């Protein structure tokens, strides 16, 4: 069943503001919302936007309803998902310090840490009450990528081929060309 979108389209002025925000450092969720609103303002249907972005149609409708209610602030509205973290920044620092040293320095007979051995050691030393291997991997990856000076800027989406065999446009190229022609 098709949804009827009664949401107003962004004005030319709002599209310019969205375009400026796209050039700023925004997280991937904010960037996707801004892209969705830009595409909607350019006349694409919610179904076309969902297909272009590779997200569910309901996600686009949620973005459009948020735009209707909050205006451009809907781009910045990030609702936390999931439970809050029970691991503090200090605990993450302790985990990183231990992971940087060899297990032999900690008095263990291993040559290298595995996630299983490291998580068991962290629990034994009461640095954390409990931690799964996947969560430990995620925390260490984030901690070490940030400490190496890497930036967490979203990468532009490459052009891909959808189910229909047509090439999906690179959003930034398309939007900037469109904006320079019509705004």
pLDDT digits (tens, 9 = 90+) for 38-80: 899 888 999 999 999 889 999 999 989 888 888 888 887 656 6
pTM of the model: 0.45
pLDDT value at residue 100? 93
Return d(Cα 152, Cα 150) in angstroms, integer. Answer: 7
Return d(Cα 31, Cα 12) in angstroms, integer. Answer: 18
Residue 24 per-residue DSSP state: S
| Average pLDDT value for the chain | 79
Does 26 score more than 90 pLDDT?
Answer: no
Return d(Cα 42, Cα 150) in angstroms, integer. Answer: 34
Instruction: Give the distance, in angstroms, between the CA of residue 37 and the centroid of all CA atoms in the same chain.
Output: 17
Least confident of 5-9, 74-78, 125-129, 171-175: 171-175
Percentage of the chain lying above the pLDDT 90 cut = 35
Q: How confident is the model at residue 151 (pLDDT cuts 50, 70, 90)?
A: very low
């Amino acid at each position: 069943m098709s949804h009827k979108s009664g949401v107003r389209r962004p004005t030319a002025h709002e599209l310019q503001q969205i375009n400026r925000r796209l050039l700023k450092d925004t997280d991937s969720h904010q960037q996707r919302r801004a892209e969705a609103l830009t595409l909607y303002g350019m006349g694409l249907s919610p179904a076309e936007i969902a297909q272009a972005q590779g997200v569910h149609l309901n996600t686009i409708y949620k973005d459009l309803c948020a735009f209707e209610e909050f205006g451009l602030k809907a781009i910045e509205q990030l609702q936390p998902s999931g439970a809050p973290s029970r691991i503090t920044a200090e605990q993450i620092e302790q985990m990183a310090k231990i992971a940087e040293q060899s297990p032999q320095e900690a008095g263990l007979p291993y040559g290298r840490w595995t996630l299983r051995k490291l998580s068991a050691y962290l629990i034994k030393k009461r640095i954390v009450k409990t931690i799964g291997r996947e969560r430990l991997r995620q925390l260490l990856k984030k901690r070490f990528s940030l400490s190496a000076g890497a930036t967490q800027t979203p990468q532009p989406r490459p052009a891909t081929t959808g189910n229909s065999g047509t090439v999906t446009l690179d959003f930034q190229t398309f939007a900037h060309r469109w904006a320079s022609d019509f705004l």
